[in-house]
Amino acid sequence: MYAQLVESGKAETSEQDVAFQKRIDDGIRIEPKDWMPEGYRKTLIRQIGQHAHSEIVGQLPEGNWITRAPTLQRKAILLAKVQDEAGHGLYLYCAAETLGISRDEMTEQLLAGKAKYSSIFNYPTLTWADIGAIGWLVDGAAIMNQVPLQRCSYGPYSRAMIRICKEESFHQRQGFDIMRALVEGTEDQKAMAQDALNRWWWPSLMMFGPSDKDSVHSEQSMRWGIKQNTNDELRQKFVDQTVPQAEWLGLTVPDSELSWNEEKGGYDFGEPDWNEFMEVIKGNGPCNRERLEARQKAWDDGAWFREGLMAHAEKQSAPIAAE
Amino acid sequence: MDAFVTFCLRMGDNALILGQRTAEWCGHAPVLEEDIAFANMGLDLIGQTQLWYGLAAEAEGKGRTPDDLAFLRPERQFLNSLLVEQPNTDFGHALMRQYLFDAWHLPMQEELAKSSHEGVRGLAQKTVKEVRYHLDRSRDLIVRLGDGSEESHKRMQDALDWLWPFTADLLATDEVDAQMADEGIAPVPALIAKAFDAETQATLARATLTIPETRLRRTGGRDGIHTEHMGYILAEMQSLQRTYPGARW
């Protein structure tokens, strides 16, 4: 998802560029001080920034349930998880900063609607089961996207992803465990779990981005070692992994076209509603306005705090007046 | 109610309700580092809640679990101080509330780490490090924002003016505290009041903030008489357990 709709610039074919491509082909990581084509830098800034923003905006739908978590243990786990997400945002902003952009600039791009974040966070969390579904499906899909990024050609991004992936697998397990508790519970709880799967299944499949034939960016990003797998490959992998888990839970995946294909050794499944996807990307999803408004409010309401700390720091560094 | 159970509930309820308030900031704090810090403090406080409720439930011996204590008690049975339930009016109020609580909480935990009660001693020895870190952090921010810009100074002073009368409820004492002190379970309240005064006077002076001269003392939380905010905190927190009685999560 984090790679969705990132267009990459045209590669120039200078000598430097050929040498750069050779390094990537040889599997040598690119580090901040190394020469890199402008398109590579821009693509990474956009992709890492988008990923960081997704972590930050992603706090909102889950944060919506911290104060209502049904047990102390669930509350603690959810708090720990959301804290991790904020921490991921921090590593990622730092990784992007090595490419010559500041965190404040990226925040401004987000608030101005110029930078994207994952479209999944524009869906509302309406019941406790949605917290389970997000962990199980959304984090599950994120892991699929992110595991290959640990091998990304850009060193700081790759290293950030290694740390992030470790935590994401804990997140996915906690989501699955919420679902497990629900399906082992009362009829109301089972219905809550099924309803959450119904609402989160298709948006989760959309997280891998448009079908390969419609994807605007894949080829160059793959050549540059920023992207390792196509959207469709990852989506297939996700479906193959998740459908048996849904069966284990006794839940029904809401796709009438879903069937096992012996020949390909994977599931056949239906097409997500790409019109809906495009609308959400354009800002017309159920919660786009609420999410951006919440981030804008946090930024505006926090201005005095940030300025106050700066004012204090300036006082401390001011030369002591001569007596 | 048994004095020891009351004491544990007061401690646990403080941690839970402040943890709830702290968690409300998730995703809404002024900078990412504060989102992380508030989630972290909330996590510590919820962990402390579980420990205090564990002691209370065991001493009570009625088969109630920590979750029963959190999610199935009505408002009048919650014994937290009024300070911790005060709303997140702005980030300055949240920081000041945290600081005033920490300034009381740390000396309390340090003394409880020497308690005659093994369970209490173990709990406090485990959590005192967290609480020390909370105070280090909140004190630092109070000083920097109090002695920051004109606006940050004003906001911190407003927060202090509003919240100060509620500190009376942290420091209030009754026969439960006297009995806990007599048994060596908890410190003599005057000792904590003295440490609280020393901490707040020194820090607030460094922050160029003025402790308000007010006769207003807001107390009652420790006896279950709360401010109007409390009902909403519980309505939100307990909603799933109340809607689906007996369900396991």
Residue-range domain boundaries for chain A: 23-311
Q: Please identify among residues 270-299 of chain A the ones whose CB lies closer than 8 Å to any CB of chain B.
A: 294, 297-299
How many residues are there in chain B? Answer: 249
Q: Please identify among residues 184-223 of chain A the ones whose CB lies closer than 8 Å to any CB of chain B.
A: 184-186, 188-189
The predicted pLDDT at position A19 comes to 93
What is the residue whose two structure tokens read 């069966």?
Answer: A247
Residue type, B102: D
Q: Please identify among residues 90-149 of chain A the ones whose CB lies closer than 8 Å to any CB of chain B.
A: 90, 93, 103, 128
Could you give the CA distance from residue A33 to residue A100 in angstroms, rounded to a whole number? 11
**How close A100 gets to chain B, by Cα (Å)?**
20
CB burial of residue B133 (10 Å; 0-12, 13-18, 19+): middle
Return the half-sphere exposure (C-beta side, CA atoms, 13 A cut-off) of residue B82. 20
Class of domain A23-311: mainly alpha
Residue type, A78: L
Mean pLDDT of successive 10-residue stretches along chain B, which has 249 residues: 96 98 96 97 98 98 98 98 98 98 98 98 98 98 98 98 98 96 97 98 98 94 98 98 97
Mutate to test the interface with B, among A62, A66, A126 (most CBs of B within 10 A): A66
Q: Please identify among residues 172-231 of chain B the ones whose CB lies closer than 8 Å to any CB of chain A.
A: none
Domain residues of chain B, as ranges? 3-243
Q: Please identify among residues 35-94 of chain B the ones whose CB lies closer than 8 Å to any CB of chain A.
A: 35-36, 39-40, 42-43, 46-47, 49-50, 53, 66-67, 70-71, 90-92
Residue type, A164: I
Instruction: Give per-residue pLDDT as tens, B3-20.
Output: 999 999 999 999 999 999
What is the residue whose two structure tokens read 């019941």?
Answer: A127
- Asked if A128 and B249 come within 8 Å (Cβ–Cβ), the reply is yes
Q: Is A311 in contact with B149 (CB distance < 8 Å)? A: yes
Using an 8 Å CB-CB cutoff, list chain A residues near B23.
63, 66-67, 75, 79
Could you give the CA distance from residue B124 to residue B129 in angstroms, rounded to a whole number? 9
Return phi, psi of residue B205, to 5°: -65, -45
Least CB-CB distance to A70: which of B27, B31, B249? B249
Using an 8 Å CB-CB cutoff, list chain B residues near A185.
247-249
- Alpha helix (H) ranges present in chain B? 3-23, 32-60, 66-71, 82-85, 91-112, 118-146, 150-163, 167-171, 175-182, 189-206, 229-237, 239-243
The predicted pLDDT at position A12 comes to 53
Q: Which H, E and C letters describe B160-224, residue by residue? A: HHHHHHHHHHHHCCCHHHHHHHHCCCCCCHHHHHHHHHHHHHHHHHHCCCCCCCCCCCCCCHHHC
pLDDT < 70: residue spans in chain A: 1-12, 217, 320-323
Report ipTM for this prediction.
0.97
Q: Is B96 in contact with B160 (CB distance < 8 Å)? A: yes
The predicted pLDDT at position A321 comes to 56
Provide the 3-class DSSP secondary structure of residue A233.
helix
Residue B97 in tokens: 């509330």
DSSP designation for A6: -
The predicted pLDDT at position A323 comes to 46
pTM: predicted TM-score of the whole model, two decimal places? 0.94
Q: Is B95 in contact with B141 (CB distance < 8 Å)? A: yes
Contacts of A35 (CB under 8 A, 6+ apart): A16, A20
Nearest to B150 by CA among B211, B90, B208, B210: B208
State the architecture of B3-243 in CATH terms.
Up-down Bundle (1.20)
At residue A18's C-alpha, the angle toward residues A16 and A22, to 5°, is: 115
- Asked if A309 and B40 come within 8 Å (Cβ–Cβ), the reply is no
- Asked if B28 and A297 come within 8 Å (Cβ–Cβ), the reply is yes
- Asked if B32 and A86 come within 8 Å (Cβ–Cβ), the reply is yes
- Asked if B244 and A67 come within 8 Å (Cβ–Cβ), the reply is no
Contacts of A210 (CB under 8 A, 6+ apart): A4, A5, A231, A274, A277
Using an 8 Å CB-CB cutoff, list chain B residues near A76.
43, 46-47, 50
Q: Number of A:B CB contacts under 8 A?
A: 156
Q: Is B37 in contact with A305 (CB distance < 8 Å)? A: no
